[in-house]
Amino acid sequence: MNKFKAILLCYGKVALTMNFELKYKAVNYTTWMIEGIETREELLKKYSKKQIILIYESGY
């Protein structure tokens, strides 16, 4: 696993309803979702890996 995969595992409507949280290399990754983009597949179509990491880290 890497940072990007950890971020993706915590993404989406399903993860939010499960209140999913993941700890990887002493970092806690929490669930998140961009309004209007409910699935990982939709997210990957719209944004690059680098953009997804930046969005997650920005907290928006």
CA separation for the pair 7, 16 (Å, rounded) = 13
Beta carbons of 22 and 6 less than 8 angstroms apart: yes
Rounding to the nearest 10 degrees, give the CA dihedral for residues 2, 7, 11, 54: -140
Average pLDDT for residues 24-47, to the nearest whole number?
94
Average pLDDT over residues 15-22: 91
Q: What angle do CA 42, 29, 15 make, to 5 degrees?
A: 45
Per-residue tokens: 23: 């700890």
Predicted pLDDT of residue 1: 84
CA distance 41 to 23: 23
Sketch the domain layout of the chain as residue ranges.
3-58
**Confidence class of residue 60 from pLDDT cuts 50, 70 and 90?**
low
Residues of the chain with pLDDT > 90: what percent?
87
What is residue 59's predicted lDDT score, i.e. its pLDDT?
83
pLDDT digits (tens, 9 = 90+) for 22-32: 999 999 999 99
